Amino acid sequence: MNKTIALAGNPNVGKSTLFNALTGSHQHVGNWPGKTVEKKDGQLWIGEQEIRVV
């Protein structure tokens, strides 16, 4: 079974920073609302389990 984690929340709370930490990506981050507005997908591996992060 494939699993997906969706990161959602208020502006400026660290969603992109968490996304980068989980997926090893390098999304741009900033200290103002609206910096990251496009949808991005990433993968997180826990053991043999692949988890999609959006």
pLDDT per residue, tens digit, the chain (54 aa), is 789 999 999 888 888 899 999 999 887 777 777 767 678 899 999 999 999 999
Give the pLDDT of residue 32: 72
Confirm if 54 and 6 have CB atoms less than 8 A apart. yes
The Cα diameter of the chain in Å comes to: 37
Strands 42-46 and 49-53: antiparallel
Q: Give the model's pLDDT for residue 12.
A: 83
